[in-house]
Amino acid sequence: MALTETPSTLPAPTAPPLAAVGELVRPIAWAGERTLPVRSSVQGLFPGNGLRRGSTVLVAGSMSLVLASMAAASAEGSWCAVVGIPTLGAPAAAGIGIDLSRLVLVPDPGPQWAVVVAGLLDALDVVVVRSPGSARADVPRRLAARARERGAVLVVVPAAGGGLHWQADVHLRCESIHWDGLAQGCGRLRSQRLQVTATGRGAASRPRSASVATVATS
């Protein structure tokens, strides 16, 4: 005699909690993949010699320094975005090594700029934003938390004259800019060299400095 079970007597399947499912499908990132590459000239300014995923980086004094910090990651396939900097031109970005095919430009995000940045952090590797002069005081903390959660790098260009307070993991400041190529008021600008200092939190707390070339000599 065959033994059979009716559907009502079969044990009901149990579904794992949603959080457990998320852990199962989450991509595995090796230690090296947690850091995006940077050019050799700026490696010493960052803990681990690169842009650590989930970190917030504040860059003051030079847009060229911002672009130089993300150029290597862009060249190796990372998607990047620049938000709220209408003066940034595509030729300038390309000239410093940014891959324009993987660059998103949002010159004027409007009053909902924080929503725009949060959405980009969900999808891209590096998001640069010029911090507006005023916004809700909790916006910097919320965006930094979003970057940590999504494994993106948030690069903040502070507003002129102050503004929002950002708790950055790494703070780069351009102290001086020197151009080469002009002689007695004439000639062609061939290279730009920045004197940069770096401070920060945790592994980045020890002050560092470097001379950074941002324009290749032709």
Instruction: Residue 133: give its domain's CATH number.
Output: 3.40.50.300
Of residues 63 and 21, more confidently modeled? 63
The pLDDT tens digits for 44-75 are: 999 889 999 999 999 999 998 999 999 999 99
Would you say residue 74 lies in a domain?
A: yes
Q: Structural domain tally of the chain?
A: 1
Q: Which of 12-21, 59-68, 135-144, 163-172 shows the lowest mean pLDDT across its residues?
A: 12-21
Residue-averaged pLDDT of the chain: 81
Report DSSP letters for 20-70, one per residue: HHHHHHSPP--GGGGEEE--HHHHTTSGGGEEETT-EEEEES-HHHHHHHH
Would you say residue 49 lies in a domain?
A: yes
Which residues form the domain of 134? 33-171
Percent of the chain, pLDDT > 90? 50
Location of structure tokens 């290749």: 216
Would you say residue 10 lies in a domain?
A: no
The pLDDT tens digits for 176-215 are: 877 776 655 555 556 678 889 999 888 777 888 888 877 6
Overall average pLDDT of the 97-105 stretch: 95
Would you say residue 87 lies in a domain?
A: yes
pLDDT for res 89: 85
Would you say residue 100 lies in a domain?
A: yes
Percent of the chain, pLDDT > 70? 77
Would you say residue 178 lies in a domain?
A: no
Of residues 119 and 23, more confidently modeled? 119
Structure tokens at 160: 């002129």
Overall average pLDDT of the 146-174 stretch: 90
Report DSSP letters for 147-195, one per residue: HHHHT-EEEEEPPTT--S----SEEEEEEEEEEEEEETTEEEEEEEEEE
Would you say residue 215 lies in a domain?
A: no
Task: Flag whether pLDDT at 19 surpasses 70.
Answer: no
Would you say residue 91 lies in a domain?
A: yes
pLDDT for res 1: 47
pLDDT for res 7: 44
Quote the pTM value: 0.78
